[in-house]
């Protein structure tokens, strides 16, 4: 049944012009950043040649594109998740799901996986685009894969937050604004503390994500994103279940 919900959500997502506009705009932004970085890389060839261990093309061109992607996700994910439950509430379609032989866990997972699939297109497309440099230079594929993993984990975390916010309201706009607000707080919370031992530092999204951009994959970072995702999905299931009381 997760599959049925997954395809239903994807279908609804792709009949909406918003999704196509989002995909198109993102590609334009990523391509623009990519070509700017290539141009910059070519312009500093002389300086690089004089360095003893210069950074490679992956660090100068590819990683910034993934970095931009992570910021773009802060804005995009609430737009993707805003309608998942709030629109069901607004259009009063939840009774169809509740009166069907399907659990709330299956409904939530189907919805989550559908937006996860959509969000996964961004790092995959960036990976394919930046991989084109393989024909003219040597790429650090390990670093790129680390970035893709980081983006995927960040997406799952932001999407699960968005889904939970969507389950709280029947207004998609409120869900989008709420999701964006929380994403921003989690992203910028590290400004409040530079000390790695503080709680605020530990819950900051950016501190956990940046390690992936450096090519260092820590279990604690992976667990951080998985735990937030799991917790938010659990809260969503609880909230939707409470609709029946």
- The stretch among 28-36, 41-49, 99-107, 192-200 that binds another protein (CB under 8 A) is 99-107
What lies within 8 Å, CB to CB, of 166 at 6+ separation is 81, 82, 83, 84, 85, 86, 172, 175, 179
- The stretch among 71-79, 85-93, 137-145, 177-185 that binds another protein (CB under 8 A) is 85-93
User: Does residue 99 interact with another protein by CB under 8 A?
Assistant: yes
* Per-residue DSSP letter, 111: H
Q: Closest approach of Cβ 158 to another protein, in Å?
A: 24
User: Does residue 131 interact with another protein by CB under 8 A?
Assistant: no
Q: Residues 81, 159: contact at Cβ < 8 Å?
A: yes
Q: Closest approach of Cβ 1 to another protein, in Å?
A: 7
Reference 228, options 156, 148, 152, 120; nearest CA is 156
- In three-state secondary structure terms, 9 is helix
Separation between Cα atoms, residue 163 and residue 169, nearest integer Å: 11
Give the position of tokens 């000390």: 195
- Nearer to another protein by Cβ, of 35 and 98: the residue is 98
- Nearer to another protein by Cβ, of 133 and 237: the residue is 237
Give the burial class of 162: count Cβ atoms within 10 A of its Cβ; 0-12 exposed, 13-18 middle, 19 or more buried.
Answer: buried
* Token couple for 221: 């970072």
- Nearer to another protein by Cβ, of 4 and 216: the residue is 4
User: Does residue 98 interact with another protein by CB under 8 A?
Assistant: yes
> Which residues within the stretch 7-66 sit at the binding site for another protein (CB under 8 A)?
8, 11-12, 15-16
- Nearer to another protein by Cβ, of 19 and 120: the residue is 19
Q: Closest approach of Cβ 7 to another protein, in Å?
A: 9
Q: Closest approach of Cβ 88 to another protein, in Å?
A: 9
Q: Residues 211, 217: contact at Cβ < 8 Å?
A: yes
User: Does residue 145 interact with another protein by CB under 8 A?
Assistant: no
What is the total residue count of the chain? 245
> Which residues within the stretch 194-213 sit at the binding site for another protein (CB under 8 A)?
none
Q: Closest approach of Cβ 91 to another protein, in Å?
A: 7
Reference 41, options 25, 60, 27, 23; nearest CA is 60
Judged by the rule CB under 8 A, the positions of this chain that interact with another protein are: 1, 4, 8, 11-12, 15-16, 91-103, 244-245
């Amino acid at each position: 049944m997760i599959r049925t919900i997954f395809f239903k959500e994807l279908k609804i997502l792709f009949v909406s012009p918003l999704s196509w506009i989002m995909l198109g705009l993102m590609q334009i932004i990523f391509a623009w950043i990519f070509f700017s970085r290539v141009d910059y890389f070519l312009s500093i060839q002389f300086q690089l040649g004089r360095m003893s261990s210069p950074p490679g093309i992956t660090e100068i061109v590819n990683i910034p594109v993934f970095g931009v992607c992570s910021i773009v996700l802060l804005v995009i994910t609430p737009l993707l998740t805003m309608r998942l439950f709030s629109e069901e509430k607004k259009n009063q379609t939840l009774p169809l799901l509740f009166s069907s032989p399907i659990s709330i866990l299956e409904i939530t997972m189907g919805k989550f996986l559908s937006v996860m699939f959509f969000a996964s297109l961004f790092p995959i497309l960036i990976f394919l685009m930046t991989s084109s440099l393989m024909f003219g230079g040597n790429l650090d594929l390990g670093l790129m894969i680390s970035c893709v993993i980081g983006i995927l984990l960040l997406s799952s975390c932001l999407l699960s937050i968005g889904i939970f916010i969507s389950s709280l309201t029947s207004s998609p706009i409120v869900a989008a604004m709420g999701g964006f607000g929380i994403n921003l707080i989690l992203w910028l919370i590290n400004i409040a503390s530079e000390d790695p031992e503080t709680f605020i530092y530990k819950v900051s999204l950016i501190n956990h994500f940046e390690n992936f951009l450096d090519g260092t994959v820590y279990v604690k970072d992976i667990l951080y994103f998985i735990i937030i995702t799991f917790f938010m999905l659990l809260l969503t299931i609880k909230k939707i279940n409470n609709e029946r009381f």
